Amino acid sequence: MSCNETSNNVSMRQEANGKAQTRIQKEKTAQIYAAALSVFSAQGFRGATLDQIALEAGMSKPNLLYYFESKEAIHTALLEKLVETWLDPLRALQDNGEPLDNILDYVKRKLAMSRDYPRESRLFANEILQGAPRMHHFLGSELKQLVDEKALLIQRWIAAGKIRDVDPVHLIFSIWSLTQHYADFDAQVHAVLGADKDPYADAEAYLVTLFSRMLQV
């Protein structure tokens, strides 16, 4: 099932009847999303169960199945909600102002995503590590199209002599890996730095220096 083929039972029934979700139904759906995010980000898709999600949501399994027909339906719906948020920082990379400043701002936005949405980052990472069975279409279409567009922008900056000559796509890959590390490997980061240490201020300063020295002409 692709990320655009979500099976939300309640929503589909209501759309067929021309009805919107009630306030209580919206609250219950949000409750399920929050519980599923917690379970999936910790256990991965294969390790998570409907019983765990129902327990985390504080509802019975039959009640949960009234809203979603399966574990996969919940997981796909979560990924679909995540996609737009995940693309926003890259979409904001635009051809205005100084190219180096724009790239550094993108680095900061991606690092902030790891800080503010660590469970969402781990959910995404777990899906990719499993071969992206529920996101394969998205990765090869919408994400690829956006990366190609921004790579062309970076290439224009390189051709104009505004930043150093680097591979634009691998530059984007390196920004992803160096920023998402802090969410996806949170336990390792805090084990090394100390449980009470907030790594993000130092991480931002380090990454700004790293990419500045790499890209400055």
CB atoms within 10 A of CB 170: 10
CATH at residue 104: 1.10.357.10
Residue 10's pLDDT is what? 46
Looking at the predicted structure, is the pLDDT value of residue 96 above 50?
Answer: yes
Asked if the structure places residue 86 within a domain, the reply is yes
Residue 19's pLDDT is what? 55
What is the mean predicted confidence (pLDDT) over 48-54? 96
> How many structural domains is the chain composed of?
2
Structure tokens at 211: 């990419």
Asked if the structure places residue 165 within a domain, the reply is yes
Give the CA angle between residues 17, 5, 140 to the nearest 5°: 150
Among 54, 74, 94, give the residue marking a domain's end.
74
Among 53, 74, 95, give the residue marking a domain's end.
74
Percentage above 90 pLDDT, the chain: 70
Domain that holds residue 27: 9-74
Residue 85's pLDDT is what? 85
pTM comes to 0.82
Whether residues 100 and 146 fall in one domain: yes
Asked if the structure places residue 4 within a domain, the reply is no
- What is the enclosing helix (H) or strand (E) of 63? helix 61-67
How many Å apart are CA 124 and CA 107, to the nearest integer?
18
- For residues 29 and 3, the model is more confident at 29
* CA pseudo-torsion sign 171, 177, 76, 88: negative
* CB-based contacts of 189, cutoff 8 Å, min separation 6: 181, 182, 199
Give the residue carrying structure tokens 């700004």. Answer: 208
Mean pLDDT rounded to a whole number for the chain: 89
Whether residues 160 and 201 fall in one domain: yes
Asked if the structure places residue 171 within a domain, the reply is yes
Residue 82's pLDDT is what? 84
